[in-house]
Amino acid sequence: MPVTWRGRLRRATLATVIGVAVAAGALLSIVLFVTTAYVVVIAAIGIGFLALPHCTRAVRGLCDLNRRAAAYCGVPVERPYRPEPEEIEKDIVGWTRRCKWILTDPATWRDLLWLLLNCVVGLLGFVPAGLLYYAGEGLVLACGVWKPVAAGGQGRWYAFVTVDSWPAAFAAAALALAVLAGWVFLGPLVLKGHAHFVRVLLGPTRESQLASRVRHLTETRSGALDFQAAELRRIERDLHDGTQARLVSLGLQLGAVDRKLAQDPEEARRMLREARTSSVRALSELRDVVRGIHPPVLAERGLADALRALGLASPLRVTVVADLPGKLPDPVESAVYFAVSELLTNVLKHADARHVEVIAWCADDTLHARVTDDGHGGADASAGSGLEGIRRRLASFDGTLVIDSPRGGPTVMKLELPCALSSPKTSSS
């Protein structure tokens, strides 16, 4: 995309402002380098360890400002410092540990080298402001300011032109416009060169990048292990407090039914109905526990083979046709896998079907799945069956479930789920 003149002027103006700040920081670099070097020397003999952390904080603050200026110029620079030790005591021992952490960090010595070199290199930040000033001076002279200067018998030199007449003033104006064009084009380049200088000395080295990655991986692994342990505790707690207790109660109810069967058949039937209700609740609670857990068959074989495994495990004759583009996000595969599994269970229990066809494909960043049976139809999600639970769970992932089930005809159940799924939304159900 071509850069417009307005954009170039904006970049040149920003480079001028940042350049003045960088050059002012270069003047400050002299003071900080001398002060910090002196403090480091006296800290080596046990005197300056109280002042070293304060000097280091000022040095790193100036370095961070130059990193930020480099980022404005399109050269991002990361901080290379080692993390500060935790729980540093606020006494002599703590100050000594802090000084040891500062002096053993290679980035501290690279900061000092940068301060020394920046005393000279940082002064290049005045170049954009100098070009702008010189261009303005030429234009002001060309507007007629040269007359009172030339009235004394001597003209004003501008570059290699002596401005003492209108033709010379026009030549000075042309030179000023050339300098102004140089300010527009060269100003950002000068600041970008300084930004690369900052990245070379103030950016992380390969060793510090590797140490940072190892530290990040360690923290990430620790967090993942903590999350895994918490999730296992949640599953164990839910199984123990919910499903396990309900299954134990179901066993007791069946034992009572066995004792009542010969004496009071009606009471035994009532207790069987209660046991059936308890089994449905236990199954629902078990589904709630395992919902979101990635099945091993998905991790090992992918969604297409996992759907085929569901078809082989079903007592019905199931045909699976899957045209999927390799590996999909884990939440997408889990949601579709569990949804198709429950749809097959619904067909087995209620549709009185013999053949089921499952088709899965991707189109327009959406995963589509269709389950068609040759049963007697009449499936209705609003009747309070498990189909409404499937619809609610898919809705929590921005998915949809559409059911076409005429009485006496085949049932077609279609579900759609975005392929860019990351995590479920909170559902009010």
Average pLDDT over every residue of 338-355: 82
Question: Based on the domain organization, do 305 and 326 belong to the same domain?
Answer: yes
Question: Based on the domain organization, do 8 and 121 belong to the same domain?
Answer: yes
Q: How confident is the model at residue 429 (pLDDT cuts 50, 70, 90)?
A: very low
| Within a domain: 168 | yes
Question: Based on the domain organization, do 181 and 250 belong to the same domain?
Answer: no
The identity of residue 340, as a single letter, is V
Tokens found for residue 55: 């000097």
Per-residue pLDDT at 426: 36
Tokens found for residue 200: 């070379």
Q: What is the 3-state secondary structure (H, E, C) of the chain?
A: CCCCHHHHHHHHHHHHHHHHHHHHHHHHHHHHHHHHHHHHHHHHCCCCCCCHHHHHHHHHHHHHHHHHHHHHCCCCCCCCCCCCCCCCCCCHHHHHHHHHHHHCCHHHHHHHHHHHHHHHHHHHHHHHHHHHHHHHHHHHHHHHHHHHHHCCCCCEEECCEEECCHHHHHHHHHHHHHHHHHHHHHHHHHHHHHHHHHHHHHCCCHHHHHHHHHHHHHHHHHHHHHHHHHHHHHHHHHHHHHHHHHHHHHHHHHHHHHHHCCCCHHHHHHHHHHHHHHHHHHHHHHHHHHCCCCCHHHHHHHHHHHHHHHHHHCCCEEEEEEECCCCCCHHHHHHHHHHHHHHHHHHHHHHCCCEEEEEEEEECCEEEEEEEECCCCCCCHHHCCHHHHHHHHHHCCCCEEEEECCCCCCEEEEEEEECCCCCCCCCCC
- Residue 424 above 60 pLDDT? no
Average pLDDT over every residue of 89-113: 79
The identity of residue 100, as a single letter, is K
> Which of 266, 290, 314 is the last residue before a domain boundary?
290
CATH (domain of 394) = 3.30.565.10
More confident residue, 52 or 243: 52
Q: Contact at 8 Å (CB) between 202 and 77?
A: yes
Average pLDDT over every residue of 387-400: 75
What's the mean pLDDT when you consider all of the chain? 78
For the chain, percent of residues with pLDDT exceeding 90: 1
- Residue 317 above 80 pLDDT? yes
pTM over 0.85: no
More confident residue, 89 or 394: 394
Q: How confident is the model at residue 6 (pLDDT cuts 50, 70, 90)?
A: confident
| Within a domain: 214 | no
Q: Contact at 8 Å (CB) between 412 and 325?
A: no
CATH (domain of 241) = 1.20.5
| Within a domain: 211 | no
Per-residue pLDDT at 428: 33
Q: How confident is the model at residue 236 (pLDDT cuts 50, 70, 90)?
A: confident
Question: Based on the domain organization, do 70 and 2 belong to the same domain?
Answer: yes
Q: What is the dihedral of CA 302, 305, 309, 310, to 10 degrees?
A: 70
Least confident of 68-72, 142-146, 192-196: 142-146
For the chain, percent of residues with pLDDT exceeding 70: 81
Question: Based on the domain organization, do 48 and 183 belong to the same domain?
Answer: yes
Question: Based on the domain organization, do 358 and 265 belong to the same domain?
Answer: no
Instruction: Give the domain extent around 285.
Output: 219-290
pLDDT digit string, tens, across residues 270-303: 887 787 777 777 776 666 666 556 667 777 788 8
Question: Based on the domain organization, do 6 and 136 belong to the same domain?
Answer: yes
Question: Based on the domain organization, do 156 and 230 belong to the same domain?
Answer: no
> Which of 290, 316, 334 is the last residue before a domain boundary?
290
| Within a domain: 213 | no
Per-residue pLDDT at 1: 42
| Within a domain: 212 | no
Q: How confident is the model at residue 425 (pLDDT cuts 50, 70, 90)?
A: very low
| Within a domain: 209 | no
Question: Based on the domain organization, do 196 and 223 belong to the same domain?
Answer: no
Per-residue pLDDT at 420: 66
Q: Contact at 8 Å (CB) between 259 and 287?
A: no
Taking the CA atoms of 384, 388, 393 and 395 in sequence, report the sign of the dihedral they define.
negative
Per-residue pLDDT at 97: 77
Other CB atoms within 10 Å distance of the CB of residue 157: 11
Question: Based on the domain organization, do 233 and 126 belong to the same domain?
Answer: no
The identity of residue 342, as a single letter, is E
Number of structural domains, the chain? 3
- Residue 423 above 50 pLDDT? no
> Which of 290, 310, 328 is the last residue before a domain boundary?
290
Question: Based on the domain organization, do 420 and 351 belong to the same domain?
Answer: yes
pLDDT digit string, tens, across residues 114-166: 999 988 888 888 888 888 888 887 877 777 766 676 656 566 677 777 766 77
Question: Based on the domain organization, do 350 and 425 belong to the same domain?
Answer: yes
Least confident of 161-170, 201-210, 270-279, 326-335: 161-170
Per-residue pLDDT at 325: 77
